[in-house]
Amino acid sequence: MIIKNVKAYTEESKFAEGSIYIEGGRFVSPSAHLQSESAGEQVIDGEGCYAVPGLIDLHFHGCMGADFCDGTEEALKTIARYEASVGVTSIAPATMTLPVEELERILSVAAGYAGKQAAREPMDTAEKAGDFQEGKPEADFVGVNMEGPFISRTKKGAQDASNIIPCSAAVCQRFLDASEGLVKFIGIAPEESEGAIEFIQSVKDKVHVSLAHTNADYDTADAAFRAGADHAVHLYNAMSSFTHRTPGVIGAAADHEHVWAELICDGVHVHPAAVRATFKMLGKNRIVLISDSMRATGMPDGTYTLGGLDVAVRGNRATLVSDGALAGSVTNLMDCVRTLVRDMKIPLETAVACATINPARCLGIEADYGSIAEGKTADLVLLDEDLNIRMVVKRGRIL
Protein backbone atom coordinates (compact mmCIF):
# COMPACT_ATOMS: atom_id res chain seq x y z
CA MET A 1 0.00 0.00 0.00
CA ILE A 2 1.11 3.53 -0.81
CA ILE A 3 -0.55 6.58 0.73
CA LYS A 4 0.62 9.58 -1.25
CA ASN A 5 0.14 13.33 -1.17
CA VAL A 6 -0.09 13.59 2.62
CA LYS A 7 1.43 15.70 5.35
CA ALA A 8 2.99 12.85 7.31
CA TYR A 9 3.74 13.19 11.01
CA THR A 10 7.43 12.49 11.53
CA GLU A 11 9.41 11.15 14.48
CA GLU A 12 10.61 14.74 14.99
CA SER A 13 6.98 15.68 15.80
CA LYS A 14 6.60 17.71 12.62
CA PHE A 15 4.59 17.35 9.43
CA ALA A 16 6.37 16.73 6.13
CA GLU A 17 4.77 16.36 2.72
CA GLY A 18 5.34 12.99 1.10
CA SER A 19 4.19 9.38 0.86
CA ILE A 20 3.83 6.50 3.30
CA TYR A 21 4.64 2.90 2.40
CA ILE A 22 3.10 -0.18 4.04
CA GLU A 23 3.81 -3.88 3.59
CA GLY A 24 2.72 -6.84 5.69
CA GLY A 25 0.91 -4.60 8.16
CA ARG A 26 4.00 -2.50 8.93
CA PHE A 27 5.52 0.74 7.72
CA VAL A 28 8.49 0.30 5.38
CA SER A 29 11.05 2.65 3.89
CA PRO A 30 10.71 3.84 0.26
CA SER A 31 13.79 1.85 -0.72
CA ALA A 32 12.51 -1.36 0.86
CA HIS A 33 9.17 -0.85 -0.83
CA LEU A 34 10.74 -0.41 -4.27
CA GLN A 35 12.45 -3.78 -3.94
CA SER A 36 9.15 -5.59 -3.42
CA GLU A 37 6.77 -3.41 -5.43
CA SER A 38 4.05 -5.46 -7.11
CA ALA A 39 1.52 -4.87 -9.85
CA GLY A 40 -1.95 -3.89 -8.75
CA GLU A 41 -0.75 -2.45 -5.46
CA GLN A 42 -3.24 -0.25 -3.64
CA VAL A 43 -2.41 3.45 -3.98
CA ILE A 44 -4.35 6.02 -1.97
CA ASP A 45 -4.31 9.73 -2.68
CA GLY A 46 -4.39 11.48 0.69
CA GLU A 47 -5.34 14.80 -0.94
CA GLY A 48 -3.17 16.87 1.39
CA CYS A 49 -4.55 15.30 4.59
CA TYR A 50 -2.58 15.10 7.82
CA ALA A 51 -1.35 11.54 8.34
CA VAL A 52 -0.91 10.84 12.06
CA PRO A 53 -0.13 7.63 13.94
CA GLY A 54 -3.06 5.71 15.38
CA LEU A 55 -3.90 7.17 18.79
CA ILE A 56 -3.25 5.29 22.05
CA ASP A 57 -5.59 5.71 25.03
CA LEU A 58 -4.09 4.37 28.25
CA HIS A 59 -6.86 5.50 30.60
CA PHE A 60 -10.54 5.10 29.80
CA HIS A 61 -13.35 2.86 31.01
CA GLY A 62 -15.69 2.18 28.13
CA CYS A 63 -17.92 3.34 25.30
CA MET A 64 -21.03 2.38 23.31
CA GLY A 65 -22.76 1.03 26.41
CA ALA A 66 -19.89 -1.27 27.36
CA ASP A 67 -17.43 -0.98 30.25
CA PHE A 68 -14.11 -2.74 30.75
CA CYS A 69 -15.31 -3.83 34.20
CA ASP A 70 -18.29 -5.62 32.70
CA GLY A 71 -15.70 -8.38 32.49
CA THR A 72 -17.00 -9.99 29.30
CA GLU A 73 -15.37 -10.64 25.95
CA GLU A 74 -18.36 -9.06 24.21
CA ALA A 75 -17.83 -5.81 26.12
CA LEU A 76 -14.14 -5.82 25.22
CA LYS A 77 -14.97 -6.36 21.54
CA THR A 78 -17.49 -3.51 21.59
CA ILE A 79 -14.93 -1.21 23.16
CA ALA A 80 -12.07 -2.23 20.85
CA ARG A 81 -14.18 -1.86 17.71
CA TYR A 82 -15.54 1.58 18.64
CA GLU A 83 -12.09 2.89 19.54
CA ALA A 84 -10.63 1.69 16.24
CA SER A 85 -13.47 3.40 14.37
CA VAL A 86 -12.53 6.79 15.85
CA GLY A 87 -8.80 6.44 15.21
CA VAL A 88 -7.77 5.09 18.63
CA THR A 89 -5.95 1.99 17.44
CA SER A 90 -4.34 0.83 20.71
CA ILE A 91 -5.96 0.77 24.13
CA ALA A 92 -5.17 0.17 27.81
CA PRO A 93 -8.53 0.42 29.62
CA ALA A 94 -8.82 1.28 33.31
CA THR A 95 -10.42 -0.61 36.17
CA MET A 96 -12.60 0.84 38.90
CA THR A 97 -12.46 0.27 42.66
CA LEU A 98 -14.15 -3.11 43.04
CA PRO A 99 -13.68 -6.15 45.32
CA VAL A 100 -10.32 -7.86 44.81
CA GLU A 101 -11.85 -11.15 43.63
CA GLU A 102 -14.01 -9.35 41.06
CA LEU A 103 -11.00 -7.43 39.76
CA GLU A 104 -9.10 -10.69 39.40
CA ARG A 105 -11.92 -12.13 37.32
CA ILE A 106 -12.07 -9.02 35.12
CA LEU A 107 -8.31 -9.10 34.59
CA SER A 108 -8.39 -12.79 33.73
CA VAL A 109 -11.02 -12.18 31.04
CA ALA A 110 -8.92 -9.32 29.69
CA ALA A 111 -5.83 -11.53 29.54
CA GLY A 112 -7.73 -14.17 27.60
CA TYR A 113 -9.07 -11.60 25.16
CA ALA A 114 -5.65 -10.03 24.62
CA GLY A 115 -4.24 -13.50 24.02
CA LYS A 116 -6.82 -14.17 21.32
CA GLN A 117 -5.96 -10.86 19.67
CA ALA A 118 -2.27 -11.69 19.69
CA ALA A 119 -2.95 -15.14 18.21
CA ARG A 120 -4.51 -13.45 15.18
CA GLU A 121 -1.35 -11.46 14.42
CA PRO A 122 0.23 -10.86 12.04
CA MET A 123 -2.92 -10.67 9.93
CA ASP A 124 -1.40 -11.39 6.55
CA THR A 125 -3.92 -13.87 5.14
CA ALA A 126 -7.57 -13.47 4.21
CA GLU A 127 -8.58 -16.05 6.80
CA LYS A 128 -6.78 -14.32 9.66
CA ALA A 129 -8.08 -10.95 8.50
CA GLY A 130 -11.71 -11.99 8.79
CA ASP A 131 -12.71 -9.17 11.13
CA PHE A 132 -11.31 -6.63 8.70
CA GLN A 133 -13.29 -8.11 5.83
CA GLU A 134 -16.42 -7.83 7.97
CA GLY A 135 -15.65 -4.16 8.62
CA LYS A 136 -15.13 -4.83 12.32
CA PRO A 137 -11.44 -4.27 13.11
CA GLU A 138 -10.39 -3.86 16.72
CA ALA A 139 -7.96 -1.62 18.55
CA ASP A 140 -4.98 -3.56 19.90
CA PHE A 141 -5.26 -4.40 23.61
CA VAL A 142 -1.88 -3.29 24.98
CA GLY A 143 -2.40 -3.01 28.75
CA VAL A 144 -4.57 -2.31 31.77
CA ASN A 145 -4.47 0.79 33.98
CA MET A 146 -5.61 -0.04 37.54
CA GLU A 147 -7.21 3.08 39.03
CA GLY A 148 -8.17 1.32 42.28
CA PRO A 149 -8.56 -0.14 44.87
CA PHE A 150 -5.57 1.43 46.71
CA ILE A 151 -6.95 4.99 46.68
CA SER A 152 -8.16 7.76 49.01
CA ARG A 153 -11.69 8.07 50.33
CA THR A 154 -11.23 11.83 50.43
CA LYS A 155 -10.51 11.96 46.69
CA LYS A 156 -12.47 8.91 45.58
CA GLY A 157 -14.41 10.80 42.89
CA ALA A 158 -16.73 8.32 41.18
CA GLN A 159 -15.14 5.29 42.88
CA ASP A 160 -17.02 3.15 45.40
CA ALA A 161 -15.51 3.85 48.83
CA SER A 162 -16.70 0.54 50.26
CA ASN A 163 -14.13 -1.31 48.14
CA ILE A 164 -11.09 0.85 48.98
CA ILE A 165 -8.25 -1.02 50.73
CA PRO A 166 -4.65 -0.18 51.77
CA CYS A 167 -1.97 -0.88 49.18
CA SER A 168 -0.61 -4.41 49.40
CA ALA A 169 2.22 -6.03 47.44
CA ALA A 170 0.52 -9.41 47.82
CA VAL A 171 -2.76 -8.13 46.35
CA CYS A 172 -0.86 -6.32 43.60
CA GLN A 173 0.80 -9.61 42.67
CA ARG A 174 -2.61 -11.26 42.47
CA PHE A 175 -3.61 -8.61 39.92
CA LEU A 176 -0.43 -9.11 37.90
CA ASP A 177 -0.91 -12.87 37.92
CA ALA A 178 -4.59 -12.69 36.93
CA SER A 179 -3.81 -10.33 34.05
CA GLU A 180 -0.81 -12.42 32.92
CA GLY A 181 1.30 -9.27 33.02
CA LEU A 182 -1.23 -7.11 31.19
CA VAL A 183 -1.51 -4.66 34.10
CA LYS A 184 0.88 -1.79 33.31
CA PHE A 185 -0.10 0.73 36.01
CA ILE A 186 -1.20 0.33 39.61
CA GLY A 187 -2.60 3.44 41.29
CA ILE A 188 -2.16 4.30 44.96
CA ALA A 189 -2.85 7.13 47.40
CA PRO A 190 0.47 7.11 49.31
CA GLU A 191 -0.92 9.05 52.26
CA GLU A 192 -3.38 6.26 53.03
CA SER A 193 -0.89 3.52 53.95
CA GLU A 194 2.04 3.59 56.37
CA GLY A 195 3.83 1.09 54.14
CA ALA A 196 3.30 2.98 50.88
CA ILE A 197 7.00 3.65 50.29
CA GLU A 198 7.88 0.01 50.91
CA PHE A 199 5.04 -1.02 48.58
CA ILE A 200 6.38 1.20 45.79
CA GLN A 201 9.91 -0.11 46.22
CA SER A 202 8.74 -3.72 46.17
CA VAL A 203 6.63 -3.52 42.98
CA LYS A 204 8.18 -0.73 40.90
CA ASP A 205 10.25 -3.15 38.82
CA LYS A 206 7.14 -5.20 37.95
CA VAL A 207 4.61 -2.46 37.22
CA HIS A 208 4.43 1.32 36.93
CA VAL A 209 3.18 2.88 40.18
CA SER A 210 0.90 5.88 39.72
CA LEU A 211 -0.47 8.39 42.19
CA ALA A 212 -4.22 8.15 41.75
CA HIS A 213 -7.24 9.56 43.57
CA THR A 214 -4.93 10.94 46.22
CA ASN A 215 -4.93 13.81 48.70
CA ALA A 216 -1.17 13.55 49.28
CA ASP A 217 0.69 16.72 50.20
CA TYR A 218 3.88 17.72 48.41
CA ASP A 219 6.25 15.93 50.80
CA THR A 220 4.33 12.65 50.66
CA ALA A 221 4.08 12.74 46.86
CA ASP A 222 7.74 13.73 46.59
CA ALA A 223 8.73 10.72 48.71
CA ALA A 224 6.59 8.42 46.56
CA PHE A 225 8.21 9.66 43.36
CA ARG A 226 11.67 9.33 44.90
CA ALA A 227 10.81 5.75 45.84
CA GLY A 228 10.01 4.90 42.22
CA ALA A 229 6.43 5.95 41.43
CA ASP A 230 6.51 7.43 37.93
CA HIS A 231 2.97 8.31 36.91
CA ALA A 232 0.20 10.73 37.89
CA VAL A 233 -3.40 9.83 37.06
CA HIS A 234 -5.60 12.52 35.43
CA LEU A 235 -3.68 15.54 36.74
CA TYR A 236 -5.79 18.03 38.76
CA ASN A 237 -8.77 15.67 39.04
CA ALA A 238 -9.33 13.62 42.22
CA MET A 239 -6.05 15.06 43.47
CA SER A 240 -4.71 17.51 46.07
CA SER A 241 -4.81 21.10 44.81
CA PHE A 242 -1.84 23.00 43.41
CA THR A 243 -1.40 26.33 45.20
CA HIS A 244 1.56 28.58 45.92
CA ARG A 245 2.02 27.27 49.49
CA THR A 246 0.70 23.73 49.09
CA PRO A 247 1.77 22.45 45.65
CA GLY A 248 0.63 18.89 46.38
CA VAL A 249 0.97 16.04 43.89
CA ILE A 250 1.11 18.39 40.92
CA GLY A 251 4.07 20.32 42.28
CA ALA A 252 5.88 17.09 43.13
CA ALA A 253 5.23 15.67 39.66
CA ALA A 254 6.64 18.84 38.11
CA ASP A 255 9.82 18.44 40.16
CA HIS A 256 10.47 14.86 39.03
CA GLU A 257 11.33 14.60 35.37
CA HIS A 258 10.77 10.83 35.25
CA VAL A 259 7.08 11.24 36.05
CA TRP A 260 4.45 11.04 33.31
CA ALA A 261 1.23 13.02 33.83
CA GLU A 262 -2.16 12.13 32.38
CA LEU A 263 -4.37 15.01 31.27
CA ILE A 264 -8.07 14.96 30.31
CA CYS A 265 -8.69 17.63 27.67
CA ASP A 266 -12.42 17.22 27.06
CA GLY A 267 -13.22 20.86 27.92
CA VAL A 268 -14.87 19.78 31.19
CA HIS A 269 -12.20 18.40 33.51
CA VAL A 270 -9.45 21.02 33.19
CA HIS A 271 -9.75 24.70 32.24
CA PRO A 272 -7.96 25.64 28.99
CA ALA A 273 -5.73 28.11 30.85
CA ALA A 274 -4.70 25.38 33.28
CA VAL A 275 -3.95 23.07 30.35
CA ARG A 276 -1.71 25.67 28.73
CA ALA A 277 0.02 26.35 32.06
CA THR A 278 0.61 22.62 32.53
CA PHE A 279 2.34 22.33 29.17
CA LYS A 280 4.60 25.23 30.15
CA MET A 281 5.31 23.67 33.55
CA LEU A 282 5.86 20.03 32.58
CA GLY A 283 6.78 20.34 28.92
CA LYS A 284 5.19 18.47 26.04
CA ASN A 285 7.35 15.36 26.45
CA ARG A 286 5.84 14.26 29.80
CA ILE A 287 2.13 14.79 29.20
CA VAL A 288 -0.08 11.88 28.14
CA LEU A 289 -3.48 12.78 26.76
CA ILE A 290 -6.26 10.48 28.00
CA SER A 291 -10.03 10.42 27.53
CA ASP A 292 -11.15 8.78 30.82
CA SER A 293 -14.28 7.99 28.83
CA MET A 294 -17.09 5.88 30.29
CA ARG A 295 -19.70 3.57 28.77
CA ALA A 296 -21.91 6.51 27.72
CA THR A 297 -19.33 7.65 25.15
CA GLY A 298 -20.89 7.40 21.69
CA MET A 299 -24.34 7.05 23.27
CA PRO A 300 -27.27 9.49 23.79
CA ASP A 301 -27.89 11.43 27.00
CA GLY A 302 -29.30 9.38 29.84
CA THR A 303 -28.42 7.51 33.02
CA TYR A 304 -25.58 4.99 32.93
CA THR A 305 -23.35 3.21 35.45
CA LEU A 306 -19.67 3.47 36.32
CA GLY A 307 -18.17 1.10 38.88
CA GLY A 308 -21.68 0.19 40.01
CA LEU A 309 -22.67 3.84 40.60
CA ASP A 310 -25.38 5.70 38.66
CA VAL A 311 -24.13 8.45 36.37
CA ALA A 312 -26.20 11.14 34.66
CA VAL A 313 -24.98 12.19 31.20
CA ARG A 314 -25.97 15.50 29.65
CA GLY A 315 -24.04 16.65 26.61
CA ASN A 316 -20.31 16.27 27.27
CA ARG A 317 -20.66 16.12 31.07
CA ALA A 318 -21.07 12.97 33.20
CA THR A 319 -21.83 13.32 36.93
CA LEU A 320 -22.74 10.96 39.76
CA VAL A 321 -26.45 10.96 40.45
CA SER A 322 -25.75 10.75 44.19
CA ASP A 323 -23.62 13.87 44.67
CA GLY A 324 -22.96 15.52 41.31
CA ALA A 325 -19.23 14.67 41.25
CA LEU A 326 -17.62 14.39 37.82
CA ALA A 327 -17.65 10.74 36.75
CA GLY A 328 -15.21 10.33 33.90
CA SER A 329 -15.84 11.78 30.46
CA VAL A 330 -18.02 11.01 27.47
CA THR A 331 -15.45 12.22 24.96
CA ASN A 332 -13.23 9.88 22.97
CA LEU A 333 -9.50 10.54 22.64
CA MET A 334 -9.70 11.84 19.07
CA ASP A 335 -12.25 14.43 20.16
CA CYS A 336 -9.94 15.34 23.05
CA VAL A 337 -7.18 16.01 20.51
CA ARG A 338 -9.52 18.27 18.56
CA THR A 339 -10.50 20.14 21.74
CA LEU A 340 -6.85 20.53 22.74
CA VAL A 341 -6.04 22.09 19.37
CA ARG A 342 -9.17 24.07 18.54
CA ASP A 343 -10.26 25.35 21.96
CA MET A 344 -7.13 25.17 24.10
CA LYS A 345 -4.74 26.48 21.43
CA ILE A 346 -2.12 23.75 21.77
CA PRO A 347 -0.28 23.10 18.46
CA LEU A 348 -1.45 20.06 16.51
CA GLU A 349 2.09 18.65 16.46
CA THR A 350 2.16 18.70 20.27
CA ALA A 351 -1.35 17.29 20.66
CA VAL A 352 -0.54 14.37 18.36
CA ALA A 353 2.63 13.51 20.31
CA CYS A 354 0.68 13.46 23.58
CA ALA A 355 -1.82 10.99 22.14
CA THR A 356 0.63 8.73 20.27
CA ILE A 357 4.35 8.47 21.01
CA ASN A 358 4.09 9.71 24.62
CA PRO A 359 1.63 7.01 25.71
CA ALA A 360 3.59 4.45 23.68
CA ARG A 361 6.74 5.32 25.63
CA CYS A 362 4.80 5.39 28.89
CA LEU A 363 3.54 1.86 28.18
CA GLY A 364 6.91 0.66 26.93
CA ILE A 365 5.56 -0.24 23.47
CA GLU A 366 7.28 2.44 21.41
CA ALA A 367 9.20 -0.18 19.41
CA ASP A 368 5.92 -1.18 17.70
CA TYR A 369 3.54 1.75 18.16
CA GLY A 370 3.31 5.51 18.44
CA SER A 371 4.90 6.82 15.26
CA ILE A 372 5.00 6.40 11.50
CA ALA A 373 8.39 4.76 11.27
CA GLU A 374 9.97 1.83 9.45
CA GLY A 375 9.17 -1.48 11.09
CA LYS A 376 6.35 -0.24 13.30
CA THR A 377 2.74 -1.42 13.18
CA ALA A 378 0.98 0.37 10.32
CA ASP A 379 -1.73 2.16 12.29
CA LEU A 380 -2.54 5.65 11.06
CA VAL A 381 -5.33 8.17 10.67
CA LEU A 382 -5.88 10.65 7.84
CA LEU A 383 -7.34 13.95 9.05
CA ASP A 384 -8.53 16.81 6.88
CA GLU A 385 -7.70 20.45 7.62
CA ASP A 386 -10.59 20.64 10.10
CA LEU A 387 -9.26 17.50 11.85
CA ASN A 388 -12.16 15.37 10.70
CA ILE A 389 -11.31 11.72 10.07
CA ARG A 390 -11.02 10.85 6.38
CA MET A 391 -9.60 7.36 6.85
CA VAL A 392 -8.35 4.97 9.52
CA VAL A 393 -5.74 2.35 8.62
CA LYS A 394 -5.24 -0.53 11.07
CA ARG A 395 -2.27 -2.83 10.50
CA GLY A 396 -2.14 -1.72 6.88
CA ARG A 397 -5.84 -2.28 6.17
CA ILE A 398 -8.44 0.41 5.62
CA LEU A 399 -11.38 0.47 8.01
Count of beta carbons in the 10 Å neighbourhood of residue 211: 34
Rounded CA separation 303/345 (Å): 32
Phi and psi at residue 171, to the nearest 5°: -70, -40
CA dist 57 and 18 (Å) reads 27
371 Cβ contact partners less than 8 Å away, ≥ 6 residues apart: 9, 11, 53, 356, 357, 360
Nearest to 187 by CA among 227, 151, 137, 223: 151
Cα(370)–Cα(356) distance, integer angstroms:
5
| Helical H segments across the chain, by residue range | 30-35, 73-85, 100-119, 130-133, 169-178, 196-203, 218-227, 248-255, 272-282, 333-342, 348-355, 357-363
- C-beta of residue 29 within 8 angstroms of C-beta of residue 69: no
Annotated catalytic, 292? yes
| Interhelix angle 196-203/218-227, nearest 10 degrees | 30
The active-site residue out of 67, 70, 266, 292 is 292
CA distance 174 to 186: 12
Return the active site residues: 292
